[in-house]
Structure 1
Amino acid sequence: MSETATGGAAVIDSLVAHGVTDVFGIPGTHNLELYRYLPASGIRHVVTRHEQGAGYAADGYARVSGRPGVLITTSGPGITNAVTALATAYADSVPVLAVSPGPPRGRVGADVGWLHEVKNQQAALDAVTGRSIRAESADDIPDIVADIFEGFASRRPRPVHLEVPVDVLEGAWARMPCARRPLPTASRPDRAAVDAVVAALVSATRPLIVAGGGSRAAAAELRALAGLGIPVLTTVNGKGVLDEAHPAALGAGARLTAAHDAVNEADVLIVVGSELGDSDLWGGTVAPGRPGERTVVRIDVDPGQAHKNVRADHAIVADARLALRDLVDGLRDKGIPGWDLARATTLRGQIDAEAAQSGAAWEPIQRSLAAALPADSVVAGDSSQVTYYGTVHTWPFTPANRLLYPTGYATLGYGLPAAIGAKVAAPDRSVVALFGDGAAMFSIQELITATEQGLAIPVVIVDNGGYAEIREQMVDRGIQPQAVDLYRPDIPALARAIGAHGVAATSVDELGPLAAQALSADRPTVIYYHV
């Protein structure tokens, strides 16, 4: 039995059918029909103070929950405000669905001064997401949403934009049940490709694994392969996928010369779920030996990754869990006893020594927080020195942890709203935000969101005087520093004015206890520390 509704019901009913329980967004003139159906849907709506914050929160939600994050904006400035967040999700392969209204049918590109009009809104979003889809009929929406969620489950996860013309969103729809499609089974690896990799490993003396973000769902299988004595280096997005206390773990070595040397000296290099891009390597080059003297293996669900940046000798296009499981089984069938972990110990010592030297200013901060917070804490960082020099290299993670960091797009303002999304996704987990003063001012307004939601998030802001990294780069290039030494507001007072708690730490040793205390507060606590 159908009932008359509007296109807004088609969107909300489809989200409910696919298990969406939380969305982030801001209501506006053109998306109000979505809000007509939200209260009865059971979906929690978290209103942010900027659409970019909604996008970052949806990103953090997805990374922690393993489910797609969803944001809702209005047309024009609403959705374009979220573009940077969606570009961040694209760069780091995060499943985010952005829903926005669009111009009425027949009005795209009309240039008639329609409210919020963009020359081509769908094309603008298609340029920064995996794809942008325009629903020309409310009847099409359930199938479009089902296709989007099917893609999230079966392909490389990247953000998708769903544009619904205002006249479709507000027009009549004969409300019918929205079906959820069975999710596709994981893609299995080609048997011949697995056998070829096993054969290469049998004769290897210096194998090494680089585990990227695409390996996170395969933590158990990666541990089994590492248990044979193969050292594992992770990218930033893969940090913690193997317990960093494991004897084969080399940590996250994005920018370290010792880590690059270890990769380049491998005779069999297995890359799992990483494009080996500049954001993973920080300008380094992966050039493992010469062809014929080394074997490069790429394991990725995306066939487009097989030869990106470093050409594969063997490409396994499949689910990482199944591919790694088959490799372990193949090696055991061959009776391979494993490799001597002494090599991993030596490599780890070299990498740790370099990390300790370059991150010396930031290591005490990480140590203080790690010692005081639960072992499975989620850490939301930013494109701040305290994150990429500190957390990445000197906060030991396990698979239970999660580092939220905008690796590929390297944006500022990510950490706080990402922490909000993480806490909404996992309210019983410890979530801490840790970033610099420069990053904080890009999204400080989202403290109001966290306060309004009553989220007990320690927000540790480390003040090093502005845009310190850019200042150092100017000095290195012989440029007179300018526009990088920022005015210092009273950040704890600002936090209290917003309604959050605000305190200042007078020593690094106070950071951990203050953060631990903040976990039981009734709202976020800003902990300010001046380096």
Structure 2
Amino acid sequence: MKTVGEALIAHLEQRGVDTIFGIPGVHTVEMYRGLADSPIRHITPRHEQSAGFMADGYARATGKPGVCLLITGPGVTNAITPMAQARADSIAMLVISGVNRVATHGHEEGFLHELPNQHAMMREVALWSHTLHRAEDLDRVMTRAFTRMTSARPGPVHIEVPLDVMNMPVAAPATVPALPAPARPAPDAIERAAQALSNAERPLILAGGGALGAAADITTLAERLDAPVITTTNARGLLGGHPLEIFASPSLESVRAVMAEADVTLAIGTQFGRTDYDMYEDGKSPALRHLIRIDSDAAQVSRVRLPDLPIVADAALGVSALLTATEGKQRVHDAAARATQARDAALAEIGAAYADQITMLHMIRDAIPGVRIIGDSTQAIYAGNLICNMPAPRRWFNAATGYGALGYGAPAAIGAALGAPDTPVLCLSGDGGLQFVLSELGTAMDERAAVIFLVWNNNGYQEIERFMRDNAIEPEGVKPSAPDFVQVAQAYGMPAERIIGIAALTQALDRALAAKTAYLIDMIVD
């Protein structure tokens, strides 16, 4: 027999969890009893918001759920922002928290960390939230949490364990129940989709973050159909710079032109989210003729864009079935030429300033082979979300689309570096965004996460200042003073340097790589 807290950790071990992000407190110590002899690694950030962002970065880098262990009250309220970001981007995240004793719920008698109804608050942002009232329910609750978090459209889930339940005795799990298999596509729908795609004169593929697990098959299908592939921000690098990949935003007119001329469009794992398809809110995203939509979530498949043919299925299984159904139906169009034309037109469309920043991003990509660039909401990241050619999936992600939370970059980069330590990680944050989570430089040093922190230092919220001026608003509140980032990094024992402008960046990156530890580059830009 174990306590519920100990058994819960044993469940996580058996589900393959190897890392937990959290800050211990009196409302979670019983679960830490289970961690003492566990192979699970515990990472202590400086703030619970960062714990959530670290779990997010870990999940995106590894493809496994990110897990947080947090105290009741302020612990979970601090985690709401990263949970909302994870929900917007369909990232699997499990948040486990304590909560006060069951008999105290709803009475507001002033207990430590008390909320009127923590469960009700969390279920508004989580896909599913549950209060564990009985020890014997632990197996079922954990299985349901992993099922809800990873099947259909993934996202954050929450389990809260009352203090008086946490130390109840319960049998340790010998094995854990199997999770449901991914949804398979209906054969008749696949046959209809294959026929339409094979007969198309200008087929097109749209790929979102939900398509990452099908990268190789999507490349093969695109080559067979001779169809260009437009990748959204979260799918960037899906085809690894293949001639058929249009690694540019479908919010750009030049990319929308390709969408408008397609006679059959296959959308795979994409939400058609406004920040991807209509980030300028001009309402000019084109209608799509004969839209076939593959999505693992039956509810999602009918949001925003109603398909002519919906296929509710796991992306990898759906694309694999389409490959079988289109066997021997090789088509030859002018897709590579159209993709090249769209990429070139997109680069010309965005203007010189953004084009220069994209050149910098590609320079970073080439200077650090295999690098994963993780960003905050800052100018160079906005540029890369418009156009960025990455050599593989999961090498480019940030919080500048969807929920759009500032302070994401640094903790997400740390989580990614810890989850996949063999892949180099560069975090690109603005001087404003980094100050949301500046103390996490200490976490990077504590955990030996060899992240290169590149600060895009333009002395404030320059993008917002520009937006105000463009709309005839006198700028206000856009010049928060920044510390000496080099001295702050060095105070945590992190090597750091300051450079002026992009021209000095290549040599600075060489020095950062040679350091073989976390490293900060404060780049002053105008």
Same fold (TM over 0.5): yes
Provide the secondary structure at the position in 2 that maps to 1:252: coil
Aligned residue in 1 for 2:460 = 466
Aligned residue in 1 for 2:139 = 142
1:350 to 322, 345, 350: 345
Deviates more, 1:154-163 or 1:68-77: 154-163
Q: Partners in 2 of 1:184 and 1:253 — Cα distance?
A: 34
2:325 to 313, 324, 330: 330
* Superposition map of 1:270-309 within 5 A: 270-281=266-277, 282=279, 283=281, 285=283, 288-289=286-287, 294-309=289-304
Q: Partners in 2 of 1:37 and 1:325 — Cα distance?
A: 41
Aligned residue in 1 for 2:217 = 221
2:246 to 231, 250, 258: 250
Provide the secondary structure at the position in 1 that maps to 2:256: helix
One-letter code of the match for 1:219? A
**Structure 1 residues 325 and 463: alpha-carbon distance in aligned structure 2, compared to 1, 3 A threshold:** same
* Superposition map of 1:348-427 within 5 A: 348-355=343-350, 357=352, 359-374=354-369, 376-389=370-383, 391-399=384-392, 401-406=394-399, 407-427=401-421
One-letter code of the match for 2:332? G
Aligned residue in 1 for 2:188 = 192
Deviates more, 1:350-359 or 1:307-316: 350-359
**Structure 1 residues 140 and 286: alpha-carbon distance in aligned structure 2, compared to 1, 3 A threshold:** farther
Q: TM-score, normalised by structure 2?
A: 0.95
Q: Partners in 2 of 1:36 and 1:482 — Cα distance?
A: 50
Provide the secondary structure at the position in 1 that maps to 2:391: coil
Provide the secondary structure at the position in 2 that maps to 1:54: helix
- How far did residue 522 of structure 1 move? 5.2
Q: Does 1:30 align with 2:23?
A: no
- How far did residue 379 of structure 1 move? 1.1
**Structure 1 residues 138 and 238: alpha-carbon distance in aligned structure 2, compared to 1, 3 A threshold:** same
Q: Partners in 1 of 2:511 and 2:213 — Cα distance?
A: 32
Deviates more, 1:6-15 or 1:45-54: 6-15
Q: Partners in 2 of 1:39 and 1:97 — Cα distance?
A: 20
Aligned residue in 2 for 1:105 = 102
**Structure 1 residues 287 and 381: alpha-carbon distance in aligned structure 2, compared to 1, 3 A threshold:** closer
Q: Does 1:481 align with 2:478?
A: no
Aligned residue in 2 for 1:12 = 9
- How far did residue 179 of structure 1 move? 2.3
Q: Partners in 2 of 1:17 and 1:135 — Cα distance?
A: 19
1:216-237 CA distances to partner (integer Å, 9 max, x unpaired)? 0000111011113100111101
One-letter code of the match for 1:300? D
Provide the secondary structure at the position in 2 that maps to 1:462: strand
One-letter code of the match for 2:168? A
Q: Partners in 2 of 1:110 and 1:178 — Cα distance?
A: 38
Q: Partners in 1 of 2:393 and 2:297 — Cα distance?
A: 26
Q: Partners in 2 of 1:266 and 1:146 — Cα distance?
A: 43
Provide the secondary structure at the position in 2 that maps to 1:519: helix
- How far did residue 493 of structure 1 move? 1.0
Q: Partners in 1 of 2:22 and 2:230 — Cα distance?
A: 37
1:449-504 CA distances to partner (integer Å, 9 max, x unpaired)? 00111221110001112111211221122211000022232111111112211211
Aligned length: 520
* Superposition map of 1:520-531 within 5 A: 520-521=514-515, 523-531=517-525
**Structure 1 residues 209 and 199: alpha-carbon distance in aligned structure 2, compared to 1, 3 A threshold:** same
Contact kept, 8 Å, 1:298 with 1:314, in 2: the verdict is: yes
One-letter code of the match for 2:186? D
Contact kept, 8 Å, 2:362 with 2:389, in 1: the verdict is: no
Q: Does 1:515 align with 2:512?
A: no
**Structure 1 residues 338 and 152: alpha-carbon distance in aligned structure 2, compared to 1, 3 A threshold:** farther
Contact kept, 8 Å, 2:185 with 2:311, in 1: the verdict is: yes
- How far did residue 10 of structure 1 move? 2.1
Q: Partners in 2 of 1:153 and 1:516 — Cα distance?
A: 39
Q: Partners in 1 of 2:170 and 2:258 — Cα distance?
A: 61
Provide the secondary structure at the position in 2 that maps to 1:332: coil
Provide the secondary structure at the position in 2 that maps to 1:505: strand
- How far did residue 63 of structure 1 move? 0.6
Q: Partners in 2 of 1:338 and 1:424 — Cα distance?
A: 44
Deviates more, 1:324-333 or 1:101-110: 324-333
- How far did residue 284 of structure 1 move? 5.1
Aligned residue in 2 for 1:159 = 156
Contact kept, 8 Å, 2:236 with 2:389, in 1: the verdict is: no
What are the ranges of 5 or more consecutive residues in structure 1 without an aligned counterpart?
none
Identity %: 38
Q: Partners in 2 of 1:417 and 1:502 — Cα distance?
A: 18
Q: Partners in 1 of 2:522 and 2:410 — Cα distance?
A: 14
Contact kept, 8 Å, 2:135 with 2:170, in 1: the verdict is: no
Q: Partners in 2 of 1:503 and 1:360 — Cα distance?
A: 26
Provide the secondary structure at the position in 1 that maps to 2:472: coil
One-letter code of the match for 2:316? R
**Structure 1 residues 383 and 287: alpha-carbon distance in aligned structure 2, compared to 1, 3 A threshold:** closer
1:392-445 CA distances to partner (integer Å, 9 max, x unpaired)? 345421225521212211111000000110011011210111121111111111
Aligned residue in 2 for 1:69 = 66
- How far did residue 194 of structure 1 move? 1.4
